[in-house]
Amino acid sequence: MDAETFYPAFHAELERRLKILDEKLRTEGSLVTKCPMWSYAALAFAMLWAIVFAVLGYVNPIPLWAHMSFYGSLLILVVLIGIDRVRKGR
Amino acid sequence: MAKEAIEKEVLFGALPVLAEDRVYGFVDYVWLQMAYGIASWAFLVGGLTGIVLPATEAITAAIAGEGLGLFASAFYAVIFGRYGADQFLLTRAAFGNRGGNLQLAIWIPINYGWIAYSAFLFGMSAIKLTPLIWPQVPSVLATVWPGATLWAVIATAIASYVAWKGPIACKWFTRVTSPLMLIVLGGLIYYIFAVEGIGAVFARQPVAAYETRHLSWMNAFEWNLGLGFAWCYYWGQWSRLAKTESAALHGPWWGWGPVLCIAVVFSILTALIVGTFDPTDWFMAIGGATFGGIGLFLFAIANIGSIVLLIYTAAIPIKVAIPRIRWVHASVTIAAVPAVVLFQEVVFNNYAVFLTLIGCLWTVYGAIIFTDFFAFRKKKGYWTVDEIRDMYMMGKIFRYHKGFNLAAWITYLSSVIIYLGVYNPLTGYVGYFGVGFPWVSGLLLVFGYAIALYWLLMHLIYPQEVKRLRVVE
């Protein structure tokens, strides 16, 4: 497709989509369903373990309790996501 | 005709992706990112870690490195999902309109590097597998040079075809290749637990440790951190297609986080048993001709999945930069073909250098984007539609200085200089400053340095812009 045909069509479609985006941002804050806050918190919680591992690994070989707590945290996270998905019927 | 072409632009190009056009849910993302990360990067970095550290310490270095790197970028997946916009479009807000395109020009060759590792792993698998199936195979197809390179080219050609077909083909392809990767991983886990015994593996010593345990741990941490930060460039191309913000965040996070870490951990243990970092050596060593051959075959196919995703990921921002370019040129001519020059053993053997030397570039990029999004744009609700339009049109709002944000670029360049002073990626020892590594990680240091310097320079060079971003409309 030549530039004379492509760009007007491209810009028209871009404007149509930006209009929808504008409306969605004003009403719902996103084009799609927004991420719940607990979701960020759960991930941050799990990520903290990466920092714990970094500190413990740097200082000394990691103790068993830290290993077990890490896998426990991940398990809790899986359960939280599972509950959320069941609650939303997905 | 024009309408059809424009509709194709949504999945194959630059336009914002609306909710009804989104094709990826949480499960698809996990499959996708597993195909992306495990087949090549996880196995290679696990292999490297396992030849310098014993199991207990190697596992901490791997999880800490992957986790911290991923943590730095995971949250901006949501932003790309929210706007349905590509990574390198929103990059223009931080680096300037032209600066965003320059970032793309820097990143495309980096992506060739990633393609080269996956393709060469396919090649190395093929030259070991072919003689088992065809004992009289010509030596040209069974040697590292030119055999592995030729096989790598074939893998790239197949992957280019799938990437050219678009994201739905990618989705179905990864639904096939990711389970293959899980079978390979399951085989390794079975071998380690049932045949070798976990106690015996944990008692093994690495074959290529550095002089001190501390130096080994810090180098392994640096490599894993390099891989963790590597995702900084890769969120937007996929998150724009997510059906929900949660899927955009959780899918890649699980795929590149815990699932990838499991693969890294078992790669470490296998490398400790076999004594080499090259995953294609592991299968024959632990599985014999039959099971090893099957493992090698599955591993090779999984690597094609990885190449497919890398090519598609590169083709999308190319379309953003040059909207009228034909998809075949974006996905094959530019995104894939030039990578062939890197299909060489010397590149393959220097994966650690790639993760750290080139890794510095993506780490600093991630730090600047992180600061720009969350320290400056978040308060104002990120971007208005006018600002998004401006990024598409290369307009005035993000022009800064002739299209370049000086705060971002000074930070970017100075961080590279600081990094090379603290750490020498070629040797794995301290850089030209003579102090720093191994007492501090080079990548972590420059990540923090870049955040602080970018924040400071934005206030000094663009106080009006900072003031504008403080006002919530």
Specify the pTM.
0.91
Q: Which residues of B touch A41 (CB under 8 A)?
A: none
- Provide the pLDDT for residue B9: 67
pLDDT tens digit sequence for B405-449: 999 999 999 999 999 999 999 999 999 999 989 999 999 999 999
Check the CA dihedral B384-B386-B387-B391 and report its sign. Answer: positive
What are B216's two structure tokens?
């080994």
Q: Does the CB of A83 have a partner CB in chain B at under 8 Å?
A: no
Size of interface A-B (CB pairs under 8 A): 142
The fold of B16-349 is Hydantoin permease (1.10.4160)
pLDDT tens digit sequence for B20-63: 989 888 888 888 888 888 878 899 999 999 999 998 889 889 98
Which of B9, B18, B59 has its CB closest to that of A20? B18
- Is B242 in Cβ contact with A32 (below 8 Å)? yes
| Residues B276/B278/B284/B286 CA torsion (nearest 10 deg) | 50
3-state secondary structure of B429: strand
Q: Any idea how long chain A is?
A: 90
* Tens digit of each residue's pLDDT, chain A (90 residues): 677 788 888 888 899 999 999 999 999 999 999 888 777 776 777 777 777 777 776 666 666 676 677 777 777 777 777 777 677 665
Nearest CA to CA, how far is B418 from chain A (Å)?
22
Which of B59, B82, B217 has its CB closest to that of A31? B82
Q: Does the CB of A68 have a partner CB in chain B at under 8 Å?
A: no
Annotated domain spans of chain B: 16-349
Compute CA distances B80 → B174, B244, B248, whole Å: 22, 11, 8
For residue B473, name the pLDDT band (cuts at 50, 70, 90).
low
**Which H/E stretch holds residue B430?**
strand B429-430
* pLDDT reading at B5 higher than 80: no
Q: Would you say B312 and B85 are in contact if contact means Cβ atoms under 8 Å apart?
A: no
Measured distance CA(B332)–CA(B320) in Å, rounded: 16
- Of B162, B138, B167, nearest in space to B150 by CA: B138
Task: Give me the residues of A, 24-43, that contact B with CB < 8 A.
Answer: 24-25, 29-36, 39-40, 43
